[in-house]
Chain A
């Protein structure tokens, strides 16, 4: 079996198992997703009120384009759920990592494939939620074909970037055991500089400039804007190139850290 076919088989098998497992917990998944919708609905309502009070728009966004932004946000957010550093703490403390290290496979493949499978469940479950939100908030969205195509790629790019960022953050656990504080710092930076709380075009210029040099916008703001717009084809390509850069940088970072991390691994949980 060629290496490429092997990886294909591996990813399909693991993703299939994740789908089977997550459909078993459809009720829990739904409750989780509904809880998650509360966050963008709050942002949506706040920014819609601000837009209305400012004569119908804020930073060029009307209540209906804001609605489009935050409804697409709900899908992008779910696509961005990956293995967290808190999971890493548990993995090491409870000795689960030992089992993974015994396999002739880099554990990141397991996480990527498993969460990718979970996304399939998430997308299926997201559709009715999106329909209800669209009915309530009447979003204005009219993407070009190129936007839809780039969005379809960009949400997976966002997934890969965020997976690798949080993998690197999680691997700090090999040295410090507890990474909660570092994760909180990361989360705050991501919240402000990704387009998660506020669309980046509504942020001050210095924040937009800073965001261009960080990976966060590639995981939230870019995929959402790719579909919702306004965005030119040149900006779509630039966004994809940025994502590609962060994917490669993330992969190199993970590989380097993993090599060192496995050397210091001493099975805390025995």
Chain B
């Protein structure tokens, strides 16, 4: 199917998904010799639904966070949208192409970056891998040089691109991976945990680079991350998926307010004290450093009271981890279903 001839319509949309599903047929066997022998003659399989009836639209230039616990179906969805997996049901259109047709023009306009995968040549400097990408994506040399140098500068790669990839740290390698994935200036970026395992400084650098790339090229970005900071810095809109089904699609603020409005105060005291009147004590394993949970709109007032009434040495306000927010969202969804 060519661009503009999509089965799923969407005038200015980069990504249109309708009723998308993926079921894996997985062999199952009890442990032990007997079941091993039995399985020779009577092989049993289970259908595992990884993605079930998912539908959404992402406009061109939008950055959308795709959230959910491990095994929720995020990566499977990204793989279907990038053409790596055939869906069991439903339709998807990315830039007007059906991803699983794996049209070469489609593949030239997208990228999928997975935080735990390495696409660079391990034994060679990243510059050599960049050269290979130039040849594969048919990038004219002047354009390639301009784009390469710009990415090296923006990602602060400097001399790192001249070292063999095996000698780079995880963060350095990730930056080089991202540069390599963007040399052909893709219009749609599927990012699966792009900041996985990186230190805070490196995470921030990559976040600001992605925001900049989105602004400059009006690129559409679908991002999965377990770091709330990634999502907050980049995405106004989030989609939450669990057990393969889409549970929430809307503003990030709405998600946090609805499901994760609480804050955790970690208080360091000069002597132990009972803080249960200030909020729900969630951790008092160290009596002089308890943690209490309060409502998000109470943070300022409770902090002021604590500082005035208790022997506080130090105090930290923590936002709920994204998994907590999502977990609460699922709890509420289940209760109201």
Contacts and interface: CB of A to CB of B under 8 A. Distances in A.
A141 interface: no
Interface stretch (A33-41, A128-136, A185-193, A261-269): A261-269
B107 A103 contact: yes
B308 interface: no
Interface in B59-97: 75, 79, 82-86
Nearest to A3: B138
B123 A10 contact: no
Chief secondary structure at chain A's binding surface: helix
Contact of B75 (A17, A20, A99, A270): A270
A105 B79 contact: no
Contacts, number: 63
Interface centre among A9, A17, A263 (most CB of B within 10 A): A17
Contact of B83 (A13, A17, A101, A270): A101
Contacts of A6: 138
A15 B135 CA distance: 12
Interface in A1-51: 1, 6, 9-10, 13-14, 17, 20-21, 24-25
A225 B114 CA distance: 50
A96 B86 CA distance: 18
A124 to B, nearest CB: 19
A204 interface: no
B135 A21 contact: no
B186 to A, nearest CB: 10
A14 B82 contact: no
A103 B136 contact: yes
A201 B272 CA distance: 94
A263 B135 CA distance: 26
A101 B84 contact: yes
B104 interface: yes
B135 A24 contact: no
B189 to A, nearest CB: 12
Interface residues of A, number: 25
Interface centre among A99, A102, A262, A263 (most CB of B within 10 A): A102
A263 B86 contact: yes
Nearest to B119: A99
Interface string A88-128: 00000001001101111100000000000000000000000
A49 to B, nearest CB: 43
Given A20-B124, A266-B85, A267-B79, A104 B132 contact: no
Nearest to B139: A1
Interface in B114-152: 114, 117, 119, 121, 123-124, 128, 131-132, 134-138, 140
A104 B136 contact: yes
B70 to A, nearest CB: 11
A263 B86 CA distance: 7
A228 to B, nearest CB: 37
Given A21-B124, A263-B86, A99 B117 contact: yes
Contact of B111 (A17, A101, A102): A102
A104 B137 CA distance: 7
A118 to B, nearest CB: 13
Given A1-B138, A10-B135, 6 more contacts: A1-B140, A17-B128, A25-B123, A98-B114, A102-B83, A103-B107
Interface of B: 24, 75, 79, 82-86, 102, 104-105, 107-108, 110-112, 114, 117, 119, 121, 123-124, 128, 131-132, 134-138, 140
Interface of A: 1, 6, 9-10, 13-14, 17, 20-21, 24-25, 95, 98-99, 101-105, 262-263, 265-267, 270
21 contacts: A6-B138, A10-B135, A10-B136, A17-B124, A20-B124, A20-B128, A21-B121, A21-B123, A21-B124, A98-B112, A98-B114, A98-B117, A99-B117, A103-B107, A103-B136, A103-B137, A104-B108, A263-B86, A266-B24, A267-B79, A267-B84
